[in-house]
Amino acid sequence: MALQVVEFIFSTTTKDDHDFIVETPKGKLSRCQILSLKRKSWVHNQVILVYGHFLNDQEERKEVVKGIVFPWTYVQHVVANAIKKQPMDKARVSVHISMHKSNPLLKRENLERCDYIFFPMYRDDHYRVYVADMKNRKTFLLDSQKPNARVANEDHGLVGKVIFEYVTEFLKEQGVNCTLDEWEFNIANVPQQFGNDDFDVFACLYMELWVGHLPVEYKNSWHKQ
């Protein structure tokens, strides 16, 4: 479903809106119906969830070169909930992390072969994506809505307390001592949306670009493309 939506929304070809049908858990939808479903959370969830599973399946079949881990359950239940509750309680966050370490995508054997981890983050009726570059200890914020420095840095701090506690723990198991402060934070220069009708297919597009090795520049920039 996510791939269909991404390919259609970003396609330069002309198609009849009514001929484009997408299968969803709620039934079949045409593009016209999809475009009328603004701010319906299940659309956001299903598009990114299905796309995440697609990336994981590709990696399992060795169809992509880069090692990708997409810990959806972990992000959905930990990051999304934690961000709504500020300030976060360290003990509560640790409990959340312990609860979701059972996610098979976060098992050590999966992280050992991982080059990048995608962390979709939900906030203010919108998804943005963090990419953790495991080898170079860099993180990239990919956001289709032009962020500001305060929000971006705030998000990075919140996500770091949850996500990177696990990442740094994994690295320590490999004999590599590091802290969140050692990670380089980057705000990626990526295509921006104009309005609120993207259904976060931009998040899917970003992941597709990473997996497909397409020539996209990542810079510290707030400029729209």
Residue 64 domain-assigned? yes
User: Torsion over CA of 50, 119, 44 and 209, rounded to 10 degrees?
Assistant: -70
59-73 average pLDDT score:
50
Residue 67 domain-assigned? yes
Only one residue has tokens 């098992």, namely: 107
Q: Which two tokens stand for residue 200?
A: 């976060």
pTM score = 0.52
Q: What is the pLDDT, as a whole number, of residue 86?
A: 46
Of the candidates 139, 97, 100, which has an alpha carbon nearest to the alpha carbon of residue 116?
Answer: 139
Residue 220 domain-assigned? no
CATH number, domain at 73?
A: 3.40.395.10
Strands (E), the chain: 21-24, 27-30, 68-69, 116-122, 127-133, 138-142, 184-187
Residue 9 domain-assigned? no
Residue 25 domain-assigned? no
Q: What is the pLDDT, as a whole number, of residue 34?
A: 47
Three-state DSSP string of 66-132: CCEECCHHHHHHHHHHHHHCCCCCHHHHHHHHHHHCCCHHHCHHHHHCCCEEEEEEECCCCEEEEEE
Q: What is the pLDDT, as a whole number, of residue 130?
A: 72
Residue 188 domain-assigned? yes
**Phi (first) and psi of residue 51, to 5 degrees:** -65, -40
**Phi (first) and psi of residue 221, to 5 degrees:** -155, 145
Residue 157 domain-assigned? yes
Q: Which two tokens stand for residue 32?
A: 């016209």
> Domain total for the chain?
1
Q: pLDDT, tens digit, for every residue of 9-60?
A: 444 444 554 444 555 545 555 545 544 444 444 444 445 555 555 555 555 5
The domain in which residue 199 lies consists of 39-212
What's the chain's average pLDDT?
A: 54
Is the model's pLDDT at 94 over the cut of 50?
Answer: no
Percent of the chain with pLDDT over 70: 9
Does residue 111 contact residue 164 with C-beta atoms inside 8 Å? no
Can you tell me the distance from the alpha carbon of 152 to that of 164, in angstroms, rounded to the nearest whole number? 16
Is the model's pLDDT at 8 over the cut of 50?
Answer: no
Q: pLDDT, tens digit, for every residue of 159-215?
A: 555 556 656 665 666 566 666 667 777 776 665 655 554 545 556 556 655 555 444
